[in-house]
Amino acid sequence: MVFRILLLLVIVAQSASRLSAQLSNDICSSAIDLQPYLVAAQTAPVIAGPFSNAAATGNDVNIAAVTGCWLDDLTGLADGSSPQIDATVWFRLTGIDQEVRLAILPCDSIFGFLSADTQLALFSGECDSLEIVDCNEDIDPATYNYWSAIYTPLSAGTEYRMVVDGFNYSGFGSPDAPLTTGEFCIHMSIPALQVSELTEQVPTIFPNPAEDQIQLTAASEIIEVRMFNAQGQEFTVFSPKNSKALDIAMPDESGVYVVLVRTKYQTTTHRIVRK
């Protein structure tokens, strides 16, 4: 949580022109239909979007339903006791008899730091009688991956509503950038068809702290690597071809850098210290 707050404070906001506001799905009753993507996901993973929670109001969600799951408490305790619901956008789908993975992640190569900390909840039922099915705060906080994802079985014919929210830092003493908003995509897949995606290890970067060079190793093909300094400036972009290992030269200036690694099955971020 400490690094999460520091990362947000030192990274500047991305240009507003990159965001595609989706205020039409600001409330449950106007949720965007994801059914075509769910149907397509039965054959291969799909990506829906881009969407954005910029300027969303958070006026239409039951706060109690996600208590204990979303950790952006007004108290700053991060215990889920009083989550802030304020930048929510809505989606809907009709279930199939499959376990489905729903992940909020970057859209292909698009990466916005202020949209990289999301919260996700899935409900069943109609908007006036929602029941919580599953929710998620972070994919993997141990690797600073604060995007959100759930793996959950769906029931054929059941109506579902999914809400995506931004993490609110106002309870943690960060008034300069209290709420994460921005562009995201919904990555949808059927785990039974994508076993590698569930079992793939997180890419490793060595050494850390680093000097002139780092070595990146992944279990599957590396699609893209992007490096940012502590001010959010993009330093380096790599698009290797058919490689699972990569040597990357570090910038000359000492400091903290964030490395985004996108492989065939996952997107992770890594904090690297340059000596």
Nearest to 155 by CA among 232, 98, 238: 98
pLDDT band at 44 (very low <50, low <70, confident <90, very high): confident
pLDDT band at 174 (very low <50, low <70, confident <90, very high): low
What H or E segment, with its residue span, contains residue 32? Answer: strand 32-33
Predicted local confidence at residue 18, as pLDDT: 36
Interval 195-210: pLDDT, tens: 444 456 778 999 989 9
pLDDT band at 19 (very low <50, low <70, confident <90, very high): very low
CA 171, CA 121: separation in Å to the nearest integer? 21
In the predicted model, is pLDDT for residue 147 greater than 60?
Answer: yes
Nearest to 166 by CA among 106, 118, 111, 121: 118
Interval 232-265: pLDDT, tens: 677 778 878 778 999 999 999 888 888 888 887 7
Sorted by where each begins, the domain ranges of the chain are 2-194, 200-274
Mean pLDDT of 171-185: 76
Predicted local confidence at residue 12, as pLDDT: 31
- Class of the CATH-defined domain 200-274: mainly beta
Interval 53-83: pLDDT, tens: 888 888 887 777 888 899 988 888 888 888 8
In the predicted model, is pLDDT for residue 124 greater than 90?
Answer: yes
The answer, as to whether pTM is greater than 0.75, is no
- Evaluate the CA torsion angle 233, 235, 237, 238 in order and state its sign: negative
Nearest to 125 by CA among 161, 152, 96, 149: 161
**Greatest mean pLDDT range, 135-144, 150-159, 164-173:** 150-159
Nearest to 119 by CA among 179, 55, 35, 202: 179
- What is each CA distance from 149 to 55, 137, 145, 270, in whole angstroms? 22, 8, 11, 18
- What is each CA distance from 259 to 27, 137, 182, in whole angstroms? 35, 21, 19
Please give the structure tokens belonging to residue 168: 């609110």
Mean pLDDT of 117-134: 92
The answer to whether the CB of 225 falls within 8 A of the CB of 238 is yes
Is the preceding omega at residue 175 within 30 degrees of 0, hence cis?
no
